[in-house]
Copies of this chain bind each other. A is one copy, B any other.
Amino acid sequence: MPLQEKQLDPALLDAVDVFGGLDPSGKDEALAAAHWRKLETGERAFEQDQEADAFYVLSAGRLKVTQVTPEGQEIIIRYIGPKEMFGCVAVCGGLTYPGTATAVTDSWALGWTRATIGALAQTYPGIALNAMRTMGGRLQDTQSRLREMQTERVERRIAHGIARLVAQAGRRVEGGILIDFPVSRQDIAELTGTTLHTVSRTLSAWQERGVVELGRQKLTVRDPHALVVIAEDLPLKE
């Protein structure tokens, strides 16, 4: 399996925030203690309310982390890209996963059991400090989204949501920036707290204005500046 071999390169851990600053022997030890998981598109790494028995770093691919309300409504908490952690609750002392992690493209992840990552963090304090930094960033992201939900009208929220996808997974293509993984209108609705109908209506209007281009599970931002103008509610220049 060439992908697996390639991903087993210890240099992989160099770029992972949680292992930043570890000396080479620490990285070797962390890598030796890890196990690999392949996740086909649609496969779940873990499910909401399941026992939090492992912590992961995504090596390749992309996942979405979702929560389902007691009424069965799904929301997307965040997308996870290469070198990002997921299942952090297993490090933080939580008993169950607060959300479900599903592969949106074929993915590979490095996993550590709860006991293993706990022991590593005791030996290498840097791991806990790094994880904390990442969680601090996520807490602030989530607070920003909460603030947007509380204060912004839906069009601005959709623009902010797409701007975040561009920042996370934008790839420059001819005539714009492509969100480099399958993303549907329903996904955007679950990400921005609105309905499929509102997302479809909004994106169609933006497409007519040349702001975005829509394909099947494909979204290209044609005019990033116009998106920022909408997101930040700036005055339109004529």
Indicate if A166 sits at the interface (CB-CB under 8 A): no
Stretch of A63-71, A107-115, A204-212 contacting B (4+ beta carbons < 8 Å): A63-71
Most buried by B among A70, A91, A151, A232: A151
Residues B143 and A98 in contact, CB atoms below 8 Å apart? yes
Stretch of A28-36, A123-131, A180-188 contacting B (4+ beta carbons < 8 Å): A123-131
Expressed in whole angstroms, the minimum distance between the Cβ of A123 and any Cβ of chain B is 8
**A89 touches which of B122, B136, B147, B233 (Cβ 8 Å):** B136
Classify the secondary structure of A's interface with B. helix
Copies in the complex: 2
Indicate if A173 sits at the interface (CB-CB under 8 A): no
Contact size range, A: 35 or more
Indicate if A41 sits at the interface (CB-CB under 8 A): no
Indicate if A4 sits at the interface (CB-CB under 8 A): no
Q: Which of A117-151 contact B (CB under 8 A)?
A: 121-122, 125, 128-129, 131-133, 135-140, 142-143, 145-147, 149-151
Given contacts A143-B67, A147-B67, A150-B149, contact A129 B121 (CB under 8 A): yes
Q: Please, which residues of chain B bring their CB within 8 A of the CB of A129?
A: 121-122, 128
Given contacts A92-B132, A125-B121, A145-B146, contact A71 B138 (CB under 8 A): no
Expressed in whole angstroms, the minimum distance between the Cβ of A192 and any Cβ of chain B is 8
Extra inter-chain contacts (12) besides given A94-B140, A149-B150, CB under 8 Å: A69-B151, A75-B146, A75-B147, A89-B136, A92-B133, A98-B143, A121-B129, A135-B135, A135-B139, A145-B146, A146-B193, A149-B149
